[in-house]
Amino acid sequence: YQGRPWELRKVRTTCPYCGVGCQLELNLKGNKIVKVMGVRAIPNEGRLCVKGRFGMGFVNHPDRLKTPLVKKNGELVEASWDEALDLVTSKFKEMKEKYGPEKMGGFSSARVTNEENYLMQKFMRAVIGTNHVDHCARLCHASTVAGLATTYGSGAMTNSIMELEDADCILVIGSNPNENHPVIGTYIKRAAKLKNKDLIVIDPRRQNLVRYARLWLRQFPGTDIAVINGMMHVIIAENLHAVDYIAERTENFEAVKETVSKYTPEYVEKISGVPAAEIIAAARLYAKAPAASIVFCMGITQHTVGTDNVKTMSNLAMLCGNVGIPHAGVNPLRGQNNVQGACDMGALPNVYSGYQAVTDPANRAKMEAAWGVAGLPDYVGMTLTQMIPAISEGGIKSLYIMGENPAMSDPDCTHAIKEMQGLEFMVVQDIFLTETAKLADVVLPACTFAEKDGTFTNTERRVARVRRAIPPIGQSKPDWQIISEISTRMGYPMNYKNAEEIFEEIRTVTPSYAGMTYERLESGGLQWPCPTIEHPGTQYLHKGQFTRGKGLFFAIEHQDPAEMPDADYPLYLTTGRLLYQYHTGTMSRKAVGLNEKAPECRVELSPTDAEAYKIASGDMVRVTSRRGAITAKAEISRKAVAGTIFIPFHFAEAAANTLTIAALDPVCKIPEFKVCAARIERA
């Protein structure tokens, strides 16, 4: 029973799960969400995936945090807001005086609104006085931001979601949109099936899109650069590259030409396992398409060569003139609902909102004037993946964590938990008592997306409204309000009346958002850059000219992953998401329907490996790496390639990140979640 139509109240808002940013209508009976419907609007045109339609049970879930909690004698006990905020304020002041602001860190969140991300980085910089602020983009797309900003000048999806359907060729590499961005998956399937466009899938797993693909290249994990260099070798050798475009719009092509000259299809076959003939066929298909789009995700980014992987995608697209035109481009699919927005808002250690570098004196002066402070820190702060290990070295003494769950999401998470236990003071602000919140000294109850106003920015740079549908559950408060109250108590008043007032401040200091207002966003959202109030927003980037001027080619060589299989750990282990669950499960595991479909962790392995290790589907297996071991059920699947096992990272009781390696990309410090070595045995 979902309520009779006349009993239901409807509120349009933006999906709180993935970066597609589907527009949906919450149907409410009283203050309870009883049904969710898709809205016929960009980018989803009425479609929703199973998470958007059936995954909202977390909002009204009985386990929601309803009061602040304060740790007393090792136990978290209920406290009043005054008691909790007094404690937070006095401890933050004490930490700042005792150790200095550079020993304090803040984790912002891809789960919360733009307004809240903006305030978190403002609080850490203007009030605490540190640039140690980061968020989980570090774990998913930091390499995209670093790679694309260097090659093109703008670290975001170049084109728009709905353009995919009319791309002449779509190359999907290291991305599984049917499970992770399902509505984008529908556009790709429509292109391949209904419009007969060419689809190339490059992925070690036999993911669902393979059924629709003209070509499927099954590479060894961590060999993407070799495969793409091989394709570029063929394109150049067969004169299929865009000679005029390269001459007019790019630089450093000759260096790439020289580097890829040795990546013959036969040489690449030896590195990647992909037959030479398939590399040639993929190169021809991609290069001959008038508009070809590259779609990638964490199979590209979560590597020690993540930034180089992204630069290689840039190289291929420029080689064939596929940037700055409709239906083409380089299109990273951002994972979480507002990971694009959290980056745009400067919840990063090196930039303010709009990617304005903290090291530039002019930018600091601008922010000091806007915020009414002096002496903003001028150094690049620590990343999330640097802050956690810095704890045991005495580099970080306190953390303020908003809407993040590093106890589950960090690589080698047993070690991450030990590190966080060494903090002198830790505040967690969240909607549930997460694995990380359990470690905190103070837990502050925050509102979900359904209880607050604001904006999210989706993967195609579209800023869309989030609208309050119900009052806060229990004593929870919107994150922006909690940050404001802490800031005010610390002597820097933040007296915003509502989220719109914060957005108005964002506009004044962020050129790419300057033309947006809540009133303009009412008509369906705007894509940045949107520099003036008359500007219609930008459907695709780099038209006529790259953001940085000329597109920059980089000559890049293949490198092996940090840890390769060996005699002790003979299998590749790779991790990822399932359609029915989401990230550390904080939200999706509170939704009854989703849990029925994917109730537990399953270790996916190939029939070949199952036979070799005498494992049957449903057997309990122990998977061990150099960092630890987990026990879970086995699932024998044709998706898996022999020699590689796959484990989803949603399940705390069998946390995949117990096994993963904390090896980092040297440029952007993203961990290599996608490759490490492991062994498997029946438990």
Residue ranges in 47-86 that form contacts with ligand SF4 under rule CB under 6 A: 48-49, 51-52
Taking residues 480 to 509 in sequence order and writing x for each that binds ligand SF4 by CB under 6 A, - otherwise, the string is ------------------------------
Shorter beta-carbon distance to ligand SF4: residue 49 or 323: 49
Closest among 575, 286, 257 to 413, alpha carbons compared = 575
Provide the minimum distance between the beta carbon of 340 and ligand SF4 in the complex, in angstroms, as a whole number.
13
End-to-end CA distance of the chain: 43
Shorter beta-carbon distance to ligand SF4: residue 48 or 69: 48
* Contact between 87 and 442 (Cβ < 8 Å): yes
Return the residue of 140, 164, 183, 401 that touches ligand SF4, per CB under 6 A.
183
Provide the minimum distance between the beta carbon of 44 and ligand SF4 in the complex, in angstroms, as a whole number.
6
Provide the minimum distance between the beta carbon of 581 and ligand SF4 in the complex, in angstroms, as a whole number.
11
Give the integer Cα–Cα distance in Å for 55 and 58.
7
* Contact between 101 and 377 (Cβ < 8 Å): yes
> Of 59-67, 175-183, 241-249, 257-265, which part binds ligand SF4 (CB under 6 A)?
175-183
Give the integer Cα–Cα distance in Å for 308 and 551.
15
Shorter beta-carbon distance to ligand SF4: residue 8 or 41: 41
Burial class (CB in 10 A: 0-12, 13-18, 19+), 266: exposed
Provide the minimum distance between the beta carbon of 121 and ligand SF4 in the complex, in angstroms, as a whole number.
25
Residue nearest to ligand SF4 (CB): 52
Give the integer Cα–Cα distance in Å for 196 and 191.
6
Shorter beta-carbon distance to ligand SF4: residue 178 or 429: 178
Give the integer Cα–Cα distance in Å for 325 and 333.
18
Phi, psi of 7 (to 5 degrees): -85, -10
Provide the minimum distance between the beta carbon of 430 and ligand SF4 in the complex, in angstroms, as a whole number.
20
Structural element, H or E, at residue 387? helix 384-390
Shorter beta-carbon distance to ligand SF4: residue 51 or 397: 51
> Of 16-24, 190-198, 559-567, 594-602, which part binds ligand SF4 (CB under 6 A)?
16-24
Shorter beta-carbon distance to ligand SF4: residue 233 or 462: 462
* Contact between 142 and 306 (Cβ < 8 Å): yes
Return the residue of 182, 221, 411, 551 that touches ligand SF4, per CB under 6 A.
182
Q: Which residues pair with 18 in a beta bridge?
A: 336
# residues near ligand SF4 by CB under 6 A: 14
Provide the minimum distance between the beta carbon of 580 and ligand SF4 in the complex, in angstroms, as a whole number.
11
Provide the minimum distance between the beta carbon of 270 and ligand SF4 in the complex, in angstroms, as a whole number.
39
Q: Which residues contact 321 (CB under 8 A, 6 or more apart)?
A: 242, 245, 246
Shorter beta-carbon distance to ligand SF4: residue 140 or 605: 140
Residue ranges in 545-604 that form contacts with ligand SF4 under rule CB under 6 A: none
> Which residue, chain included where needed, has tokens 């509505």?
183
> Of 179-187, 225-233, 265-273, 512-520, which part binds ligand SF4 (CB under 6 A)?
179-187
Provide the minimum distance between the beta carbon of 576 and ligand SF4 in the complex, in angstroms, as a whole number.
15
Q: Which residues pair with 38 in a beta bridge?
A: 24
> Of 14-22, 59-67, 385-393, 432-440, which part binds ligand SF4 (CB under 6 A)?
14-22
Residue ranges in 17-46 that form contacts with ligand SF4 under rule CB under 6 A: 17-18, 20-22, 44
Provide the minimum distance between the beta carbon of 232 and ligand SF4 in the complex, in angstroms, as a whole number.
32
> Of 15-23, 111-119, 506-514, 631-639, which part binds ligand SF4 (CB under 6 A)?
15-23
Is residue 297 involved in binding ligand SF4 (CB under 6 A)? no
> Of 11-19, 358-366, 387-395, 565-573, which part binds ligand SF4 (CB under 6 A)?
11-19
* Contact between 43 and 183 (Cβ < 8 Å): yes
* Contact between 88 and 442 (Cβ < 8 Å): yes
Closest among 307, 319, 308 to 253, alpha carbons compared = 319
Shorter beta-carbon distance to ligand SF4: residue 17 or 513: 17
Provide the minimum distance between the beta carbon of 670 and ligand SF4 in the complex, in angstroms, as a whole number.
22
Pairing of strands 462-466, 526-527: antiparallel
Provide the minimum distance between the beta carbon of 456 and ligand SF4 in the complex, in angstroms, as a whole number.
10
Residue 274 region, left (φ>0) first, then alpha (ψ -120 to 50), else beta? beta
Shorter beta-carbon distance to ligand SF4: residue 157 or 305: 157
Shorter beta-carbon distance to ligand SF4: residue 18 or 623: 18
* Contact between 141 and 301 (Cβ < 8 Å): yes
Shorter beta-carbon distance to ligand SF4: residue 364 or 650: 650
Give the integer Cα–Cα distance in Å for 93 and 251.
50
Q: Which residues contact 668 (CB under 8 A, 6 or more apart)?
A: 138, 142, 143, 145, 146, 147, 306, 307, 383
Give the integer Cα–Cα distance in Å for 242 and 229.
16
Give the integer Cα–Cα distance in Å for 460 and 329.
12
What sign results for the dihedral spanned by CA atoms 635, 640, 646, 648? negative
Name the residues that contact ligand SF4, by CB under 6 A. Answer: 15, 17-18, 20-22, 44, 48-49, 51-52, 181-183
